[in-house]
Every structure is written in structure tokens, then in C-alpha cells.
Amino acid sequence: MIRAVDPELVRQAVQGDRRAMAELLTDVRPGLVRYCRARLGRVGGAYTTADDVAQEVCVAVLRALPGYRDQGSPFAAFVYGIAAHKVADAQRAAIRDSAVTPIDAPLEQPDAAPGPEQQAVATDLARRLSVLLKKLPEAQREIILLRVAVGLPADEVGLIVGMTAAAVRVAQSRALARLRTLAGDALDEVAA
């Protein structure tokens, strides 16, 4: 779970304190990586694109920091607003570039990554989960990603999506129930 960002740290970072900026990015980056990986998934069996997008979000947060004004919502709402836009840009770029497939050079030493069977099972499970998530309304999908993948508390997710914490919990519960119904036994057969 992401720990709350200290408002004093945010204030110092907004004023240009480099130490505060570094500490702020250290606090938010792990959650951003999880968020981007959950939204973008693996491309070519790796999280490279999602990790790159998370890095772009960090850079965008640094650039936007001087213009940030505390308006009563958590700093996370500001950060994940930027992240949502960067993820959407990456998704559009992936669709545009999907016709071009790079060819990997052969490895010069043994690969320590999971074997083909484990990769196939993990990829298939991720694909199934992605298909199920796409069947949810956008608001429920965003709530599931922010609550489960990123680990934000309901009150912060509520500020990001414009709902109360109680409404977020209800929407999350309904979304999870819908996912269970949609999944049926489909995911149980891959429980390796």
C-alpha cells in the first residue's frame, strides 16, 4: 500500500527543494509503476513499456510541480491524474505502432527468466484478467486498479475519481462481484 505523502514534503518540493523532490518521487514511484503495469500490462512478455510510462509520469510530475496548488485533495489525486493521461497516450501509441514488431537479437547467455511454460501460464492468466477487466465500466475498472493494483485507500481513490470513500467501497465491491460472475470457473483452471 502507498503511504500518504507528507503535505509539508509536497510544499517543500513545490518550492523547489531538490531533496524534497527526490523524496517525493521515491514515495510515489512504486505505486506509479504498479498502476502503469496494471493498466498497460506486459508488452512482448516484459513490463518495459509500463515502466517507461511510469518514468514519464515521474518527469511530468516534476515539471508540473511548480504549478501544483493544494486544493484540499491528496497529492495522489494530482499524481494519478497525470498518470491516467500518460497511460492513455501510451495506449494510443501502442495501437498506432502495433503493425511494427521488433525482432529481438539472440541472447548471448542463458536467460534466468521463467521457462516457456510458466510464461505461457502467466501470460494467459494476465490476458484473461485483462479481458475480464475490460468488461467492467471504466469507473469500476479504474477503482479496481487504484485500490487493488496500486493500493490506494478508498478516500484517496474517491478524490481521484470524484466519489466519496463509501461510494468507492461500494463500487469496488460491485466490481469484484461482477468479476467473479464473469470469471466463473475460467480462472480456476490455470491455478498452477
pTM of the model: 0.61
Domain boundaries, the chain: 1-98, 116-192
Contacts of 163 (CB under 8 A, 6+ apart): 157, 171
Maximum distance among all alpha carbons in the chain? 54
CATH number of 116-192: 1.10.10.10
Contacts of 136 (CB under 8 A, 6+ apart): 144, 175, 178, 179
Strand, coil or helix: 105: coil
- List C-alpha distances in Å: 28 to 10, 22, 25, 127: 11, 10, 5, 27
pLDDT tens, position by position, 63-107: 999 999 888 888 888 898 899 889 888 888 777 766 555 566 665
C-alpha cell, 101:
514488431
Alpha carbons 119 and 132: distance in angstroms, whole number? 20
Fold of the domain built from segment(s) 1-98: Rna Polymerase Sigma Factor; Chain: A (1.10.1740)
Alpha carbons 105 and 46: distance in angstroms, whole number? 15
Range from 17-21, 47-51, 109-113 carrying the lowest mean pLDDT: 109-113
pLDDT tens, position by position, 33-55: 888 888 887 665 566 788 889 99
Alpha helix stretches (DSSP H) within 41-74? 48-64
